Amino acid sequence: MKESVLDVLMYLFEAFADADTEPEADRNVLRGELLRAGFEEPNVDKAFAWLDELNENDAPETGVPYAANAVRVFSDSETARLGVDAVGYLMHLQHVVILSPSQLEIVMDRLMALGDTDIDMEQIKWIVLIVLYSQSDQHEEYARMENLVFEDNPASLH
């Protein structure tokens, strides 16, 4: 099975996001379930590390708030890694207030933390969903993003 860390994350998210039960509290039990599902051990371990880092980055905002007219400039390496369309999509999500500036930074951090994995637009949407889901006060934004992920005919950004 040639799954990536992102595949493990998406599997976990799909299994537990809409479930009425919380995931198994014992990480070893959950890890065993993922291995039995066919995921490779290094990818499972990297997925748990990725989630741990997400939870560390999920702390409340501190310091100076972002200015309302601030513009996020993407680095050459970010643009090369994600592509111009993906960068435009992320900027669109910020413009329509699905992502705040600080959430965009968390999404970018988590996307770049995936390593050398090729990331397509659908996967970016899933990472945004996971980030919003991890923040307990983002119910409306999560619901709006969920609609974008699951809609049959995505609307044009223009």
Identify the pLDDT of residue 45: 94
Model pLDDT for residues 58-104, shown as the tens digit of each residue: 554 544 456 666 778 899 989 988 999 999 999 999 999 899 898 99
Identify the pLDDT of residue 158: 42
C-alpha to C-alpha distances, 99 to 48, 49, 95, nearest whole angstrom: 24, 23, 8
Domain layout of the chain by residue ranges: 1-57, 68-158
Say if residue 127's pLDDT is above 50: yes
Is 150 or 105 the better-scoring residue by pLDDT?
105
Give me the residue label for tokens 């601030």. Answer: 70
Q: What is the DSSP string of the chain?
A: ----HHHHHHHHHHHHSS-SSPPPS-HHHHHHHHHHTT--HHHHHHHHHHHHHHHHHTSPP-SSPPPTT--PPPPHHHHHHH-HHHHHHHHHHHHTTSS-HHHHHHHHHHHHTTTT----HHHHHHHHHHHHHHSTT-HHHHHHHHHHHH-SSPPP--
Say if residue 153's pLDDT is above 50: no
Model pLDDT for residues 31-56, shown as the tens digit of each residue: 999 999 999 999 999 999 999 999 88
Token pair listed for 84: 């111009």
Identify the pLDDT of residue 128: 93
Say if residue 156's pLDDT is above 50: no
